[in-house]
A = this chain, B = another copy of it.
């Protein structure tokens, strides 16, 4: 972090910004795994864009994004036990905008196969890692705190688009 010519208050604000963004990213899995439409709407900017790739709808605007995260199709995934697991993100704040690059795993409980027991940790049929994605989040500061302006994710499956996203973590500005 650059500290030259900045006041203590500015440095504290930058830290608070980074921590608030950690909490925004950390609250995504709980909202996705419960289908919390109101919460999802509350953390997106009015004109937000959620881009999950060509195989999915690309909702634009808070209401459309919240709707996609809580529809009947999504609730079938929840009843199945879907779990979104967020890795440690790389976060960069610049004034009133910020971006983060993060990995996200999607796991689902296995429903077939034998039960497996681990001493002192119960038995289960295990979980299946359905997807690992590279995510770029763009945030904007509002009067009510940070909001998600855009989120773009691509599956890490050996194709180029996910690696394009990951490269944004390697420059301070996130631009290439």
Contact = CB atoms under 8 A, between A and B. Distances in A.
A143 interface: no
Contact of A27 (B8, B18, B170): B170
A36 B170 contact: yes
A166 B34 contact: yes
B122 A56 contact: yes
B1 A33 contact: no
Contacts of A84: 103
A16 B20 contact: no
Interface string A42-72: 0000000000000110000000000010010
A97 interface: no
A95 interface: no
B22 A88 contact: yes
A86 B166 CA distance: 14
A140 interface: no
Chain copies in complex: 3
Contacts of A77: 118-121
A55 B167 CA distance: 29
A101 interface: yes
Contacts of A11: 12, 16
Interface in A77-113: 77-92, 101-103, 105-109
Nearest to A20: B1
Interface string A114-141: 0010111110101111111010000000
Given A80-B119, A129-B129, A132-B83, A89 B156 contact: no
Given A16-B3, A29-B103, A86-B87, A74 B23 contact: no
